[in-house]
Amino acid sequence: MQLTNTPRTHLKPKPDENKLGFGTIFTDHMFNMDYHPEKGWHNPRIEPYAPFVLEPSTMIFHYGQGIFEGLKAYRTPAGKIQLFRPRDNFKRLNYSARKLCIPEIDEAFALKALKELLRIEKDWIPGADGTSLYIRPTIVATDPYLGVRAAHTYRFFIILSPVGAYYPEGFNPVKILVTREHVRAVRGGIGDTKTMGNYAASLLAGEKAHRAGYTQVLWLDGVEQKYVEEVGSMNILFIINGELVTPELNGSILPGITRDSVLMLARRWGMRVSERRVGIDEVFQAHEAGTLSEIFGSGTAAVISPVGELRLEERLIRIGQGQVGPVAKRLFNTIMDIQYGRAEDPMGWIEPVQ
């Protein structure tokens, strides 16, 4: 497939790198590619970032048949540009595609197109501490049709956004509310895919948590409401009796790439690591017994995010006294150092762009 390139004539001003939030600013160009049953994926192109013109009947608006990914490009101290485990993101995109009846993409071609887009947009990759260029590959159903079925046509696009920290708290501990009123996903559903509906399902509980002074919601399993699942924007990990414990991938939890990196690093460091069912009662009991020493989340956007407070109804865990625990800190530093090219990459996670 031949990738075409239409450059923008007037470039936008670049933002102040020291004031970046998350996901509000977009670069000059984007990648687009279309799917048609007779042509397959075709017409891959890099063109100016621009609005889409879509009919109001377009299927993505009605039935949510869409998927996405989140990854980042980093600027190293030597000025090189690199990605962190991008092949895993495209692999997961195809996993989501299969579950949402979307035609799979050629992962190697998608990576090649992304690298080309990044080379064009390299001046948008910020260099200030903790900043990066967030990458959002997305596929949406584009048939103008109101019947419920898998679409026949799709658009695959990639947009880029220079970002700072995902949470306003930065690397400071966040407060998390456990909900029993709502569920995010159930066994046999699509909780393990990155599809829009999972995020839509999280909004009401998220709003309630915000009103109560919490940053995020911790979801319990959708059947018994007994077992910890994830935080929606991140996976969740605990240090109990010195062991790194996290919910096993059960089909309703997103298989996070940062989660996987954390587990691989911890095993490499000789820590005891356990992926298993984690009861929410077990977490509170461990806290009461004094064996719970850290709680933190992991995600592309959030990296490692320490949790300072966890509430379930009347039960409350306050942990770390506003400080970041030693395991979260070591993971955060190690992962960031690899991502930013400040340290060796013993795991082969880095993909150079330029």
Binding segment toward ligand COI, per CB under 6 A, in 103-111, 143-151, 240-248, 297-305: 297-305
Which one of 223-231, 239-247, 260-268, 299-307 is the stretch in contact with ligand COI (CB under 6 A)?
A: 299-307
Closest approach, Cβ 93 to ligand COI, in A, equals: 12
Instruction: Rule CB under 6 A: choose which of 299, 306, 308, 325 binds ligand COI.
Output: 299
In angstroms, give the least distance from the CB of 139 to ligand COI.
14
Angle between helices 86-99 and 107-120 (to 10 degrees): 130
- Residue 299 vs 308, nearer CB to ligand COI: 299
Q: Would you count residue 44 as binding ligand COI (CB under 6 A)?
A: no
Q: How far is the CB of 256 from ligand COI (least distance, A)?
A: 8
Q: Whole-number minimum distance, CB 73 to ligand COI, in Å? A: 13
Q: Among 30, 93, 218, 301, which residue sits at the site for ligand COI (rule: CB under 6 A)?
A: 301
Do 5 and 131 touch, CB atoms closer than 8 A? no
300 binds ligand COI (CB under 6 A): yes
- Tokens, residue 54: 């879509």
> Rounded to 10 degrees, what is the CA torsion of 143, 146, 149, 155?
20
**Residue 138 interacts with ligand COI (CB under 6 A)?**
no
Q: How far is the CB of 148 from ligand COI (least distance, A)?
A: 27
Return the CA Rg of the chain: 21
CB of 67 to ligand COI, least distance (A): 11
From the list 36, 47, 39, 37, the residue with the least C-alpha distance to 3 is 47
**β-bridge pairing 81-84 and 71-75:** antiparallel
* 188 and 222 Cβ atoms separated by less than 8 Å: no
Min separation Cβ 154 and ligand COI, Å: 20
Rounded Cα distance, 110 and 116, in Å:
10
* Tokens, residue 162: 């220079």
Site for ligand COI in 215-234 (CB under 6 A): 233
Question: How many amino acids of this chain bind ligand COI (CB under 6 A)?
Answer: 5
The stretch near ligand COI (CB under 6 A) out of 103-111, 172-180, 217-225, 296-304 is 296-304
Query: Which member of 44, 66, 70, 206 binds ligand COI (CB under 6 A)?
Result: 70
Cα torsion at 243, 337, 27, 116 (round to 10°)? -100
The piece of 96-104, 144-152, 295-303, 331-339 that touches ligand COI (CB under 6 A) is: 295-303
Span near ligand COI by CB under 6 A; candidates 278-286, 294-302, 327-335, 337-345: 294-302
Instruction: For strands 132-141 and 71-75, give the pairing.
Output: antiparallel
Which residues contact ligand COI (rule: CB under 6 A)?
70, 233, 299-301
